[in-house]
Chain A
Amino acid sequence: QVQLQQSGAELAKPGSSVKISCKASGYTFTSYDISWIKQTTGQGLEYIGYINTGSGGTYYNEKFKGKATLTVDKSSSTAFMQLSSLTPEDTAVYYCARDTNWFAYWGQGTLVTVSS
C-alpha cells in the first residue's frame, strides 16, 4: 500500500534551518510528483510547492521562494524539504503528499517548532 513516512518533530532556533524527509513506499516513486503543504492554526493549509521526482524539477509558491528548498533522492525514494532562516512564523505542521492536483496520500506530518 502507498505510504509516505515523514521524519520526526523538530525544535529549531530562530535563524537556523531544518530538513524534513518524506520516504515513499508502495508505488513507483518517480511516477508521481511530491507536494509539500504547511498547516497552521492561523493560516490554515498553504501549498508550498512540488518536486518532479523523476527530473528533480521544482516549483514553488511565490510566498515560499527562498524559504523552502525541495530535493529528492531517487535511490531511497525519499523527498526532502529544507526550511531556512527560520522565524516563529515557520512554526507549523508540514506535510508531504503525493501528486499535485488532488492529494490522495499524505505523510503523517512533521511538527516544526521555532523557538529560542
Chain B
Amino acid sequence: DIQMTQSPSLLSASVGDRVTLSCKASQNIYKYLNWYQQKLGEAPKLLIYYTNSLQTGIPSRFSGSGSGTDYTLTISSLQPEDVATYFCQQYNSWPTFGAGTKLELK
C-alpha cells in the first residue's frame, strides 16, 4: 500500500490567515491525489480532486498543488467555517488516506 503522511497533525491559525497543509506519499502518485474536509459528526466532503481541480460548490479560497510525492492544500484566507479535519487520499493504486490535519482557530 502507498502510505500517505500529512503534516502538521494539528494547525492553529487566525481568521484571514493563509494556511498550507501538506501531504506526502511514500512513492510517486502522479497527481492522483484528492483532498477532503470533515467536520465533527459529518461525512468527509470532497474539496479538490486530481491535485488541483476544485469540486463544484467549493469556495475558490481552497486550492491544491503538487506533483510526484509532495502535495499541498492551501486556504488563501481562513474562515471560521473552515475549522475541520482535512484528509488527503491517493488513487494511483488502491485508495489510501492520510491521517488528517486538524485545523483550529487561534
Contact = CB atoms under 8 A, between A and B. Distances in A.
Given A44-B100, A45-B87, A100 B43 contact: no
User: Taking each of B43, B45, B46, which has the highest tally of chain A beta carbons within 10 Å of its own beta carbon?
Assistant: B43
Interface residues of B, number: 20
B36 to A, nearest CB: 8
- Main DSSP-derived SS at the A contact region: loop
Interface residues of A, number: 16
Closest 7 CB pairs of A and B: A106-B43, A45-B97, A102-B49, A47-B95, A102-B34, A101-B91, A104-B46
A61 interface: yes
Contacts of B7: none
Interface in B16-51: 32, 34, 36, 43-46, 49-50
Nearest to A46: B97
